[in-house]
Amino acid sequence: MSAPIALSYQAFEDWAVIWLPIIFMALIAVVLVYMLRFMPRTKPQEIKPQSSDSISWDDVAGVEEAKDELREVVEFLRDPKRFKKLGAKVPKGILLHGPPGTGKTLLAKAVAHESNAQFFAQSASSFVEMFAGLGAARIRRLFRIARKQAPAIVFIDELDAVGATRGNDVSGEKDQTLNQLLVELDGFGGGDDLVVIAASNLLDKLDPALLRPGRFDRQIFVSPPDLKGRQQILRVHTRHKPLRDDVDLGLISRQTSGLTGADLANLCNEAAIFAGRERRDVLLTQDFQAALERVVAGMQSRRVITDHEKRLVAYHEAGHALCSELLPSVEKVHRISIIPRGRALGYTLNLPEEDRYLKTKEELLDYLVVLLGGRVTEHLVFGQITTGASDDLKKVHEISRSMVTDYGMGTELQSKQLPAADYSMADATRRRIDEEQQFITDHAHRRALKLVSGHRSLLEAFAATLLNSEVLERGDIERLVAEHEGVQPSPSRLEPLNAGGTGKPRIAAVEGTEPAGPARDPSGA
């Protein structure tokens, strides 16, 4: 009986050697056929001109320099023969770069509308696919269709999604897509009335090949609007909104320093929502004030805080306000609130008298004093420090670090810029940076402590009024200061120090340090 069994095992083994690989390959083929036939496929994206929403130059405000640059493109697309007779060529590519919300997309739509050109808009992220080569094919198809319908404008939003520096893409898809875009930009014919407008928030991350002449010939920085620009934007977004006669858009524009066009559009919409919620037929100044608090500080919170926490917040914000009023180089306080909004339990809103683009060392050190004024007040009044100053301390660290490493505002390291996180830096240099940063913050802390302790009566008046009414406007602050006749603005430097700084945020919010050690003058005097 053993021989037949041995023969059967031998036969099975011979059969398995021959047929099992064939069966395995057949199963793989069946799975592949199933995937190709029944799995959803990526359909070619429909590419057709989009509406520019009838956006004209009048609908784009606060970016006059960018509009002036783009008007030449509009003139060329309207009458190309006039320029071609002179041998002029339209810029092949225009790169709009700047912070989010400054109006880059609106500018592209306005150029298309004003020039009567077809408008093809695509997000760069839509070109990137899992399979290599699909993104490049989409770009070829987009430009082929756009050329057929010239004059046309191809708008590529968020260019950095596909135009980042090559060499970091493991799959190769982004690099292939970018290469195809470079080819299309170089492949424009002389008769093509086609302009590519791209937008990006991260200019420094784009591949250098994109930025050379012949591809994106023009790079236009779209900056946040200045005071006049903000007022123009507010006029545009309130054009069809019923405003009461006493609504002062100039004052609102002063209160919105640092806001972009998108922020201002949201502000006007929030004001209309507040007015509708109150069932009014017109928008009042108080609607814009409520909207500004909503946009800048967040939605009013329903958190219930204890009486002790409320007193802490009141004194913390009073400390910020006191230092702001006493330091001449700091923007004066427009509003103080201890009503919780968003993550903040309270805030102090400062308004600049004018738009500023440069800050001196004195102004920056004064701002550090204002930031530390809240925590110093907590420690002085209650004998304890809380977690409420975490955001203030973060800003103090960032500003003081930048003063030493970026702006050359240290006491001994004044003539060179030092990277804040350079691991090749010598240990001695790194220690010196830390020491100078600590000197600056300690000096600001001592000044804040001297201001708060030297004007205790005004501090108590601020805090008591806040606890009673929860909100102090500019008029209330001026009245309290006037009642304390002995209060005079403090000199910018209480101790010898070469001061310095960065831009001042709009709000100092509650989110103290221990008294500093012996005075040490970082100036070396």
Q: Active-site residue numbers?
A: 317
Q: Is the peptide bond before 151 cis (omega within 30 degrees of 0)?
A: yes
**DSSP class of 300:** B
For residue 344, the cross-strand partners are 341
Among candidate residues 447, 371, 435, the one with its CA nearest the CA of residue 401: 435
Q: Which amino acid is at 433?
A: I
Contact 437, 362 (CB under 8 A): no
Residue 121 pairs in a beta bridge with 155
Q: What three-state secondary structure class fits 191? A: coil
Specify the residue for token string 């269709």.
Answer: 145
CA angle 407, 410, 416 (to 5 degrees): 55
Any bridge partners for residue 96, and if so which? 199, 220
What secondary structure letter does DSSP report for 446? H
Residue 35 vs residues 13, 31, 32, 130, 144: alpha-carbon distances, Å? 33, 6, 5, 16, 31
* H/E element, 167: none
Closest by CA to 198, choosing from 115, 111, 135, is 111
The token pair at 348 is 């102090």
Q: Which of 190, 186, 228 is nearest to 209 (CA)?
A: 186
How many other C-beta atoms lie within 10 A of the C-beta of residue 193? 17
* Secondary structure of 207-266 in HEC code, one letter for each residue: CHHHHCCCCCCEEEECCCCCHHHHHHHHHHHCCCCCECCCCCHHHHHHHCCCCCHHHHHH
Tokens of residue 153, six digits: 């404008």
Query: Residue 254 half-sphere exposure, CB side, CA atoms within 13 Å?
Result: 12
What's phi and psi for 472, nearest 5 deg?
-120, 125
